[in-house]
Chain A
Amino acid sequence: MMSDLTKFTLAEARDAVASKKISSLELTRAHIDAIEKARGLNAFVLETPDKALDMAKASDARIASGTAGPLEGLPLGIKDLYATEGVHMQACSHILDGFRPPYESTVTSQLWRDGAVMLGKLNMDEFAMGSSNETSYYGPVASPWLPPGWDETKGRAALKGDKKGLLVPGGSSGGSSSAVAAHLCLAATATDTGGSIRQPAAFTGTVGIKPTYGRCSRWGVAAFASSLDQAGPIARTVRDSAIMLRSMAGYDAKDSTSVNAPVPDYEKAVGASIKGKKIGIPKEYRIDGMPAEIEALWQQGIEWLRAAGAEIVDISLPHTKTALPAYYIVAPAEASSNLARYDGVRYGLRVPGKDISSMYENTRAEGFGREVRRRIMIGTYVLSAGYYDAYYVRAQKIRTLIKRDFELAYQDGIDAILTPATPSAAFGIGEKGSSDPVEMYLNDVFTVTVNMAGLPGLAVPGGLSASGLPLGLQLIGRPFEEETLFSVAEVIEQAAGRISLPQAWW
């Protein structure tokens, strides 16, 4: 038996629990302890230990009676964007103060159906708007990776203070990536609107997949930008993410954009040969000012795949550079409307005013943080009379062009596309975006095209930067061909060697 039960991968823990080598209760207790010791990271915004222990006991009973599910007894973290019945949910926004959803999101209900155990709610950027987890009402999350040159003492001191200088875990699913990388849970749910699964995974040396739009139900997950939002997991290995996705995915009649297609056993694709697969390398991702180590990482990835028998093909996705600006029209526009329901009437915060209009204005001014207010305003502006065609309609046309680029590549027989996941390694808390919001937006430059085209995208660690921080590679697939991504990602994971995550210093 492993001395530290939190060091199991999800797959290892599953096998150990299923074969009764360990109990879910032991496994869950180990994670509850780890979470308590890691409060400085601020990854969890709500711990639900009692619920976790109850669920673990129920899992052990099911294992004993031979009715275990595929995730039986495995403790997970849940991003605060997901509603879990009766458990406080705030999307890490002041405006949802005190909200207890009387409903369970479809995705989490599937996790519990399959036997998983809930450890608590994970920190995130407010309403998933951010790339560093610094916009959370609960404050920033620290990455378990120490900044270059920092020792543990300096790290611990910073955790007790304002966390400035510590590394961001990425965003918006920063609580998820931090918790998974710090071994606080076996895996976590996350969501991805422009890169919010893949960028945090890349920053923390974890694996994250945003599946094809329509693969996971959006029901019960607070909306940011409906046409871009997708649920997905962050886990420590490719296999673990495949196991998680199988439970999270599936048709839901309550979501009109959910696709009615069978969910394959993704784990079977892990380890499958990629011989003869055509991997596209899009030249447009070679952007100006890209650090040499990112370029080198990408080249290394190409070599690994070639060595595994894949055919490497140079491709062109000519509208790539339009994706980020188009995203910053489409996403805020949808958000401005999606967040109109937070009005102080039916739930959450209400700040009084002299009349109904000032009640709305005061509530929303105080309830939303700066980044959310900014995006709502941009979204309101681009939809307003006289600007709608110039901004919103044009951006949606560009979206058609971006999607067409990918379709043409796939028509030419490309099975998957390899790119860097992010233009840099993780940066420090407080380092970016304080004066110019666009500086932060550039983090999503490689990931956002995938959301705009509705495709599956996976981030897998490819190695470390010169200063010892994790760097991720991104794989982009054909619609509903997540299995190819798992097969290819496994080759990278094997070739790169499982990244060695930080030991607890916090």
Chain B
Amino acid sequence: MTTAAKPSKLIKGATGDWEIVVGMEIHAQITSHSKLFSSASTSFGGDPNSHVTLVDAAMPGMLPVINEECVKQAIRTGLGLKAKINHRSVFDRKNYFYPDLPQGYQISQFKDPIVGEGEVIVDVSASEQIIVGVERLHLEQDAGKSLHDQSPTESFVDLNRSGVALMEIVSRPDIRSAEEARAYVTKLRTILRYLGTCDGNMEEGSLRADVNVSVRRPGEPLGTRCEIKNVNSIRFIGQAVDVEARRQIAIIEDGGKIDQETRLFDPGKGETRSMRSKEEAHDYRYFPDPDLLPLEFDQAYVDELAKGLPELPDDKRARFIAEYGLPPYDAGVLVMERESADYFEAVARGRDAKMAANWVINELFGRLNKEGKTIATSPVSAQQLGTIVDLISAGTISGKLAKDLFEIVWSEGGDPNVIVEERGMKQVTDTGAIEKAVDEIIAANPEKVEQAKAKPTMLGWFVGQVMKQTGGKANPEAVNTLLKQKLGI
């Protein structure tokens, strides 16, 4: 990397500043019904060894046949990462022994992956955007699962996951902080979810990250890296980067040197530790899988898939800014999830878009977060929220009452129009009624009238009194105009 270090990203050690350099290998489980090379189900859970065909169990003479949907999903993802799609790619065997690797090799792509270089635009904060390069994306098989805590002497092996399709997305070492690392994975997950190529569910292991961390003095060549395996939440990714960087800095500042090794992040202890089992030098003996032929397709195949792609978050964000006049940050928040963006657009269409954005981001998202709900499980539909926005725009209800109305719709449901009508929440715009209230208050408070004439800011007190008398339903603008008129200010 030749780019200059950003001072704001540097961290202080005992002997000066350090720059963190992070690259990531994301393993994303492809959304498909069946596995990459067998027709077994990919669904999560299931009794041990129930989602296993003879191919997954690597019985003698069993052969792999590739699932076309997995190929398409990899191409779609490549397109979503603005990456080069390789019209010819090759499947290789990565040979090693492990009980949950039934073939004794993993089918992967080593020399000729299906997707080449691309990039991800990452919003680190409201004011900072970085571009993280993608080196490659390749298809590979997941391993099975070994349980080590069932017995003191034995490990238990379940092959349900064995052979499920993964995309390994390898980034360039373009990430410079824990915050950037989190933002990169968040953005990548957003893209995958938009594309529908991976559900991004980290709890179920659909998205796992191997995080490569090294540190260096600003401007110096890359340091020795350690690979932190299988980090399974975005929060942990951030923590792992931080603690690993600090561990490395402490060692170097102590005069030691970093050993290139594989480590594991322990979220309970907040530390990384060496994985002894992986210490042994690996020699994977990659070679093209002779049970498979090179995977080949033409540009028309890619074009057809490109046609079917949804609008992606970056494009959508740009459109929200241009079409709805939203501030970039708000637009960014709205496009984080495709469902949120769709919801927003349903509310905003034909309405005041900025008001719609405010309501979605501040009221709806705030409330959803508080209650641990998502857009999909929101008690308030886009149509209901749209009606609330309509009622405000038409001056039928005040902004303050609108929040009460939102509360009612949230907890009780119903048509906001009907609720406003039935519960008398309508704003009073009838000047006669307002005038009556104004007159009464002026008559009852002659000394305040005198004060107001000398000090026009007293107007607010009168407005408050009128609103109180009208139960908050008086149109504040009409109240203002009448008071000014009658008080002669």
Direct interface between A and B, CB < 8 A: yes
A99 CA to B59 CA, complexed, in Å: 10
Interface assignment of B63: CB less than 8 Å from any CB of chain A: yes
Interface assignment of B60: CB less than 8 Å from any CB of chain A: yes
> With A340-B95, A341-B102 in contact, is A254–B65 under 8 Å at CB?
yes
8 Å CB contact of A99 from B60, B62, B93, B104: B60
B109 CB to closest chain A CB (Å) equals 15
Whether the pair A343, B293 counts as a contact (CB closer than 8 A) is: no
Whether the pair A257, B291 counts as a contact (CB closer than 8 A) is: yes
A384 CA to B95 CA, complexed, in Å: 10
Chain A residue contacts of B60, Cβ below 8 A: 83, 89, 91, 96, 99, 101, 222-223, 341
Provide the A213-229 mask, 1 if CB < 8 A to any CB of B, else 0: 00000111111011100
A339 CA to B290 CA, complexed, in Å: 13
Whether the pair B95, A337 counts as a contact (CB closer than 8 A) is: yes
Whether the pair B287, A333 counts as a contact (CB closer than 8 A) is: yes
A1 CA to B293 CA, complexed, in Å: 52
Provide the B85-116 mask, 1 if CB < 8 A to any CB of A, else 0: 00000000101010100111100000000000
> With A227-B290, A333-B287, A385-B283 in contact, is A255–B63 under 8 Å at CB?
yes
A346 CA to B63 CA, complexed, in Å: 17
A292 CB to closest chain B CB (Å) equals 39
A-B pairs, 7 with minimum CB distance = A340-B104, A383-B285, A226-B290, A227-B290, A222-B60, A341-B58, A220-B61
B129 CB to closest chain A CB (Å) equals 40
Chain B residue contacts of A340, Cβ below 8 A: 95, 97, 103-105
> With A226-B290, A227-B290, A333-B287 in contact, is A105–B65 under 8 Å at CB?
no
Whether the pair A226, B287 counts as a contact (CB closer than 8 A) is: no
B357 CB to closest chain A CB (Å) equals 51
A78 CB to closest chain B CB (Å) equals 13
Whether the pair B97, A221 counts as a contact (CB closer than 8 A) is: no
A221 CA to B105 CA, complexed, in Å: 19
B166 CB to closest chain A CB (Å) equals 20
- Which residues of B37-93 have CB atoms within 8 Å of chain A's CB atoms? 54, 57-66, 93
8 Å CB contact of A356 from B57, B66, B99: B99
Known: A219-B62, A256-B66. 9 other contacts (CB 8 A): A102-B59, A103-B54, A222-B61, A227-B290, A256-B292, A257-B291, A341-B103, A346-B57, A385-B285
Whether the pair B104, A337 counts as a contact (CB closer than 8 A) is: yes
Q: Which residues of B contact A (CB under 8 A)?
A: 54, 57-66, 93, 95, 97, 99, 102-105, 155, 157, 283, 285-287, 290-293
B51 CB to closest chain A CB (Å) equals 16
Interface assignment of A506: CB less than 8 Å from any CB of chain B: no
A217 CB to closest chain B CB (Å) equals 9
Interface assignment of A126: CB less than 8 Å from any CB of chain B: no
Chain B residue contacts of A385, Cβ below 8 A: 283, 285
Chain B residue contacts of A333, Cβ below 8 A: 287
Chain A residue contacts of B64, Cβ below 8 A: 256
Interface assignment of A328: CB less than 8 Å from any CB of chain B: no
Interface assignment of A380: CB less than 8 Å from any CB of chain B: yes
Interface assignment of A480: CB less than 8 Å from any CB of chain B: no
Closest Cβ neighbor of B292 among chain A residues: A256
A340 CA to B97 CA, complexed, in Å: 8
Interface assignment of A203: CB less than 8 Å from any CB of chain B: no
A82 CA to B61 CA, complexed, in Å: 8
Chain A residue contacts of B286, Cβ below 8 A: 383, 388
Whether the pair A343, B97 counts as a contact (CB closer than 8 A) is: yes
Provide the A340-378 mask, 1 if CB < 8 A to any CB of B, else 0: 110101110000000011001000000000000000000
Closest Cβ neighbor of B281 among chain A residues: A385
Interface assignment of A392: CB less than 8 Å from any CB of chain B: yes
Chain B residue contacts of A105, Cβ below 8 A: 61
- Which residues of A79-100 have CB atoms within 8 Å of chain B's CB atoms? 82-83, 89, 91, 96, 99
Chain B residue contacts of A380, Cβ below 8 A: 285
Chain A residue contacts of B54, Cβ below 8 A: 102-103
A356 CB to closest chain B CB (Å) equals 6
A420 CB to closest chain B CB (Å) equals 29
A257 CB to closest chain B CB (Å) equals 7
- Which residues of A379-403 have CB atoms within 8 Å of chain B's CB atoms? 380, 383-385, 388, 392
Chain A residue contacts of B290, Cβ below 8 A: 225-227, 334
A383 CA to B110 CA, complexed, in Å: 14
A339 CA to B58 CA, complexed, in Å: 11
Closest Cβ neighbor of B284 among chain A residues: A385
A226 CA to B97 CA, complexed, in Å: 20
Chain A residue contacts of B102, Cβ below 8 A: 341, 345-346
A97 CA to B58 CA, complexed, in Å: 16
Q: Give me 10 A-to-B residue pairs in the complex whose CB atoms sit less than 8 angstroms apart, sorted by A's number.
A: A89-B60, A218-B61, A220-B62, A221-B61, A222-B61, A255-B63, A333-B287, A343-B99, A346-B57, A356-B155
Chain A residue contacts of B59, Cβ below 8 A: 83, 101-103, 346-347
> With A337-B95, A346-B57 in contact, is A383–B287 under 8 Å at CB?
yes
Chain B residue contacts of A82, Cβ below 8 A: 61
Chain A residue contacts of B287, Cβ below 8 A: 333, 337, 383, 388, 392
Interface assignment of A313: CB less than 8 Å from any CB of chain B: no
Whether the pair B104, A256 counts as a contact (CB closer than 8 A) is: no
Chain A residue contacts of B99, Cβ below 8 A: 343, 345, 356
